[in-house]
Amino acid sequence: MKITLFQSDTVWKRPQDNYLQIEAQLEAHRDSDLLVMPEMCTTGFVTDPMDGELERSQDVEERLAALSQRFETALCGSFAVREPGMGGIWHNYNRCLFVTPEGGIWRYDKHHLFNPGGEGTAYTPGIRQVTARWKGVRFALSVCYDLRFPVWLKYHRGGERQRPVGPAEISPAHEYDVLICCANWPIQRQLAWETLIRARAIENQVYVVGVNRVGHDNICPYSGGSKVIHPYGHVISECQDNVASTCDFEPDPEWLNHFREKFPSQQDSDSFRIW
């Protein structure tokens, strides 16, 4: 499986322009099996959306499904969407979508909203971990600020699914091979980004695909730093800093299973619950 990271220069609040960028990358990487994009990749990191600024979740899914089928490439990225809830009340979500050419769709709503930037005021947090399974690879989905919370992203082997505890639920069976993190991580905290993606790879014995944006929005600049981290902690592939660019990666599930058997540190993990 060939995975392409697209480190985009997201155009502020102009979805059509950003979809054209995505389509251009799909055209340029027709040999890729999966294209991974940053957080809120069609709007920028909008924390105070006005009426009509966010896309409807159904519209986004239909558009991504059409692109995925047309180019025979799976797509993964975070989108600022809205959808109706109980009583016809609309809710906003920072939603990571994983869409395949066969019509498969996995939806992960960002659990750790970035309250220091006001995201928690405008969006509804997700309460469930989500793992997409495609072409023999298991992809755990996460978005930006989630990266700072290792308990939420912890790899767990086996066990029955436990009942929800408090405002969130976590399954003892949270097994995956690749952790995808779609981000809008600002340049002033770049060292944290570089450190945390390595830590998540090492502690969970997984590949980490971290895709960040470049350019500016109306808040801060971004330098990218999109890269793939090996379970040992070193960089396998990376995009060029400060410019819109791509890089490729091919996971090796067979080697990963062998590594976990040879060095079974997960067997010594602590048990826990989220309260």
Give the pLDDT confidence score for residue 162 in this predicted structure: 38
Give the pLDDT confidence score for residue 156 in this predicted structure: 85
Residue spans of the chain under pLDDT 50: 159-171
CA dist 245 and 241 (Å) reads: 8
- The one catalytic residue in 13, 39, 96, 119 is 39
Give the pLDDT confidence score for residue 273 in this predicted structure: 64
Give the pLDDT confidence score for residue 204 in this predicted structure: 97
Structure tokens at 77: 């990225």
- The one catalytic residue in 41, 76, 96, 144 is 144
Q: Which residues contact 19 (CB under 8 A, 6 or more apart)?
A: 42, 63
Q: Does the annotation mark 144 as catalytic?
A: yes
- The one catalytic residue in 41, 96, 110, 239 is 110
CA dist 47 and 114 (Å) reads: 9
CA dist 63 and 244 (Å) reads: 23
What are the Cα distances from residue 76, in Å, to 92, 97, 146?
A: 19, 5, 16
Place of tokens 């929005």: 217
Give the pLDDT confidence score for residue 163 in this predicted structure: 39
pTM for the predicted model, two decimal places: 0.93
Burial string for 6-37 (b: 16+ CB within 10 Å, else e) reads: bbbbbbebebeebbebbeebbeebeebbbbbb
Judged by DSSP in three states, 31 sits in coil
Give the pLDDT confidence score for residue 57 in this predicted structure: 97
Give the pLDDT confidence score for residue 159 in this predicted structure: 47
